[in-house]
Copies of this chain bind each other. A is one copy, B any other.
Amino acid sequence: MKRTFLFFLLIPVIFISCEQTFVPGDPLPSWNDGDTKQSIINYVEKVSDKNSDSYIEPVDRIATFDNDGTLWTEQPTYFQFYFVVDRLRKLAEMNPDIANDTLVRALLDQGHEAIFTFSGEGITRVIVMASTGMNTDEYADIVEEWISTTKHPETGMYFTDMIYQPMLELLQYLRDNEFKTFIVSGGGIEFMRPWTMETYGIPTHQVIGSTMAIEWEMTDDGPVLNRMPEMSFFNDKTNKPIAINRCIGKKPVFAAGNSDGDLAMLQWSYSNALPSFQLYVHHTDAEREWAYDRDSHIGRLDKGLDVAAENGWTVVDMKSDWKVIWPEE
């Protein structure tokens, strides 16, 4: 009797225990069984195994993820462009200079697709117009309000619900095995930070993105950081490894992306002297999401597909590898 009692006392001690480093059952339940899923699990298991030749110290387990098209959908256009157009519509109501701007007129009259007729400078100009001229706290409030109230025009879903359930599981699986997960996105760093913790479990200091020029001002109410009308860093292509070097200071051992804009990041990871893993999400599912690659004007994956094949990187075939796309299905 007393022996049984003590045994039951033990149970909560064993099960409440510590950080979750052991995941019972399948760590990637939304991934279909097959080579892709198995390659991920094989990699994580061997680098976490102290008795393996491939063992990696936890401090070196750095994993970097692109966001648009890798963690959430990016079609028919980058979600941040919807924010930009919505914000320009609001600004145009109050400011005739903005209302009469040629590019703003094109966006408001023809819709977000008009942006694909702009030059690179034109795209930067409308993003800057929509995203600067306030301090960092004010901008965070604007983003939070927008992302919590606005729905995707085609799916009617909140943007933060159009995240990939299989990738959420991958992020968690890596963290359960003592990887640090970072976002390394071309999106605005302060556009992402208000919601990445709740959405992906990624804290602000592990989010890297494009930045506007920032200026300090001491006001009567204390200091503020003002967002100035100039993009200071566009975090795409070879700028991704440069930002990884600046903000993380270590080469990732695990890198995931979905476009040629992520190629340099994957190559940087692939050059790691430690065992590394590169993953491309290939959008092949026109029914459940979108199908696009070599010819897309959003998330073009062309050279990246060739380099992935040459190097033996893992390419996710969304249609066959993923049981579900978004969490709500």
Q: What residues make up the interface of A, taking CB atoms closer than 8 Å to B? A: 2-3, 6-7, 9-10, 13-14, 17-19, 59, 62, 136, 180, 182, 189-190, 193, 197, 203-207, 211, 214-216, 218, 222-223, 225, 238-239, 241-242, 245-250, 264, 267-268, 270-271
Whether B136 and A245, one on each chain, are in contact in the complex, defined by CB atoms closer than 8 angstroms, is yes
Q: Given that A3-B2, A193-B249, A249-B207 are known contacts, is A268 also in contact with B223, CB under 8 Å in the complex?
A: yes
Please, which residue of chain B has its CB at the minimum distance from the CB of A268?
Answer: B223
B-chain residues with CB within 8 Å of residue A7 when the two chains form the complex: 6
Residue in B189, B223, B238 whose CB lies within 8 Å of A241: B223
Please, which residue of chain B has its CB at the minimum distance from the CB of A196?
Answer: B249
What are 25 A-B pairs at a CB distance below 8 A?
A: A2-B3, A6-B6, A6-B7, A13-B13, A13-B14, A17-B17, A18-B18, A19-B19, A59-B203, A62-B205, A180-B205, A182-B205, A190-B249, A193-B249, A204-B249, A211-B246, A214-B245, A214-B246, A216-B241, A216-B264, A222-B270, A223-B241, A223-B271, A225-B241, A225-B245
**Cα distance, A7 to B13, chains bound together (Å):** 13
* Chain A at the B interface: SS class: helix
Whether B59 and A222, one on each chain, are in contact in the complex, defined by CB atoms closer than 8 angstroms, is no
This protein's copies in its complex: 2
Please, which residue of chain B has its CB at the minimum distance from the CB of A214?
Answer: B242
B-chain residues with CB within 8 Å of residue A13 when the two chains form the complex: 10, 13-14
**Cα distance, A267 to B219, chains bound together (Å):** 12
B-chain residues with CB within 8 Å of residue A18 when the two chains form the complex: 17-19
Whether A204 and B250, one on each chain, are in contact in the complex, defined by CB atoms closer than 8 angstroms, is yes
Q: Which 6 A-B pairs have the closest CB atoms?
A: A204-B249, A216-B238, A222-B271, A6-B6, A18-B18, A205-B248
Please, which residue of chain B has its CB at the minimum distance from the CB of A190?
Answer: B249
